[in-house]
């Protein structure tokens, strides 16, 4: 059974619909399905995550089956299928970053934010998770922060605390 937030009706703003139309116009006639990934990014940017209703609306907009949207959205980790904090902190948990302290930083993040991986802080500001290699293996530990996907290298506890403080002040 769907949770309450997954049953919320979804309305796309005029700006979002305009953006979607512009994205569809990039593709040849009859190939509008190719617009699915960028449209999902835009929908997520506006709504914060992709609920079942949001994905159904995308399917309706592109005139494709809902399952085609679910398959894509559930495959790529950059799409969120449940509510996230305003800022998503993603720490690389692959071998080279773990050798220089990524796991300790994830423990520190859990203690500092007071939520486990994948959860949202009570103020709605933060979520965090470990992710696979962020392609800066010589500069670990590495962190990226969504929604802008800002990149931070050579991280330590103090830098992480400073970053969180800066985000709280925004």
Tell me how far, at minimum, the Cβ of 26 lies from ligand FES, in Å.
31
State the distance between the two ends of the chain, measured CA to CA, in whole angstroms.
Answer: 37
Closer to ligand FES at the Cβ: 6 or 153?
153
Q: In terms of CB distance, is 60 or 107 closer to ligand FES? A: 107
Question: Would you say 54 or 134 has its CB closer to ligand FES?
Answer: 134
Between CA 80 and CA 41 the distance in angstroms is 10
* Cβ closest to ligand FES, residue 82 vs residue 157: 157
CB of 119 to ligand FES, least distance (A): 23
Give me the least distance between CB of 151 and ligand FES, in Å please: 10
Count CB-CB contacts under 10 A for residue 126.
24
Q: Least distance in Å: CB of 150 to ligand FES?
A: 15
d(CA 23, CA 61): 12
State the nearest-atom distance from the C-beta of 90 to ligand FES, in Å.
11
Cβ proximity to ligand FES, 98 vs 164, nearer residue: 98
**Rounded to 10 degrees, what is the CA torsion of 151, 152, 157, 161?**
-60
Residues at the site binding ligand FES, with contacts judged by CB under 6 A: 92, 94, 96-97, 133-137, 140, 142
Sheet holding 87-92, edge to edge: 126-131, 87-92, 143-146, 150-152
DSSP state of 82: S
Half-sphere exposure of 104 (CA within 13 A, CB side): 9
């Amino acid at each position: 059974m769907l949770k309450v937030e997954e049953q919320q009706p979804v309305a796309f703003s005029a700006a979002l619909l305009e953006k979607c139309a512009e994205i569809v116009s990039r593709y040849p006639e009859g190939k509008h399905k190719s617009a699915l990934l960028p449209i999902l990014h835009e929908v997520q940017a506006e709504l914060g995550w992709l609920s079942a209703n949001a994905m159904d609306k995308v399917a309706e907009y592109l005139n494709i089956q809902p399952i085609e949207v679910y398959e894509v959205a559930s495959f790529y980790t950059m799409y969120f299928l449940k509510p996230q904090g305003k800022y998503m902190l993603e720490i690389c948990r692959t071998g080279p970053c773990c050798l220089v302290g990524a796991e300790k930083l994830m423990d520190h993040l859990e203690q500092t934010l007071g939520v486990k991986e994948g959860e949202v802080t009570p103020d709605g500001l933060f979520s965090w998770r470990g992710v696979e290699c962020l392609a800066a293996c010589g500069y670990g530990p590495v962190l990226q922060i969504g929604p802008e996907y800002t990149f931070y290298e050579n991280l330590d506890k103090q830098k992480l605390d400073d970053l969180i403080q800066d985000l709280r002040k925004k």
